[in-house]
Amino acid sequence: MDVWRLLPFEVGCAAWNMSVDEAVLQARIVGKVPNTLRFYCWNPSAVSVGRNEVACDRVDFDVAERFGVDVVRRCSGGGTVYHDCDGEVTYGVVAKVSDLGSVGDVTCVYFKVYEAIVDALRLLGVSADFNVGNVKNCPNLTVKGKKISGSSQTLSRGYVLQHGTLLQNFDADKMFQLLKLKDLSYAQATTAGRQKITSLQNELGHKVNFNTITNALKQGFQAILKIQLKETPLTVYETELAKQLYKEKYSTTKWTLNGKLV
């Protein structure tokens, strides 16, 4: 049975969370760390923008400033996502693509990771389905047709970073004040969001604490990937690289707005 590293659960700001994810990927690519699973939350709440998106077209920066919400650009693709500090657990998987049973088909990687999350949701009492997505939406998980978990990927030299959300709760009013949806007013977007998005609390009728969620996720990943998780902290190499990425990339206006560092 393969042993994967499990990083200690962390709560961080948006720029730090994205810096750590990329640092782990880079460390895995050069062989300094094993395949790694990570769970974290965001404080303050944040909006993350996909690698190739135009940030000003997707985020209302005035509302974000008023609410004290961070805005960050991911190194992965996909759409713009609101991360509520009290409403989700985020996971990050960094692994060799072939270790996830794929020879280059990113949908296979999505499916394998989502299998683990489906198993975790089963343990929590929720039945979810894999949705392959389309040209505009990455694959995701749905419950009775409503999205409960989404994610995005970046691939490099045969290694993948897939990070995504599992919604514990869902604040449509706040989400759609922050996000701009083309051709939809705030009221229309909020109504559409309530029809298309769900959460653990909505499905179960009660709040589920983060420890319960992360414990179920650990069990799901171990069972589906047939791995053993060993909790080990970031290496010095990763910590220093994350600090550098935080300073020079993810906390900079140039990267956030334009996806460029020069």
* Mean pLDDT calculated for residue range 39-64: 97
Contact (CB, 8 A) for 92 and 37? yes
> Which pLDDT tens digit goes with each residue over 182-195?
878 888 989 989 99
Burial of residue 21, with CB atoms counted within 10 A of its CB: 0-12 exposed, 13-18 middle, 19 or more buried: buried
Distance CA 64, CA 70 (A): 7
Alpha helices in the chain (DSSP H): 14-29, 55-58, 61-67, 106-124, 172-178, 186-196, 200-204, 210-225, 236-245, 253-258
Map residue 13 onto helix, strand or coil: coil
Q: In sequence order, what DSSP letters do the residues of 195-241 get, joined into one string?
A: HHB--HHHHHSS---HHHHHHHHHHHHHHHHTEEEEE----HHHHHH
**215 C-beta neighbours (distance < 10 Å), count:** 15
pLDDT at 103 over 80: no
Question: Chain-wide mean pLDDT for the chain?
Answer: 95
Contact (CB, 8 A) for 231 and 7? yes
* Mean pLDDT calculated for residue range 233-260: 97
Q: What is the pTM of this model?
A: 0.95
**Model confidence band, residue 227 (pLDDT cutoffs 50, 70, 90):** very high
Q: Among 171-185, 196-210, 212-226, whose mean pLDDT is lowest?
A: 171-185
Map residue 89 onto helix, strand or coil: strand
**Model confidence band, residue 124 (pLDDT cutoffs 50, 70, 90):** very high
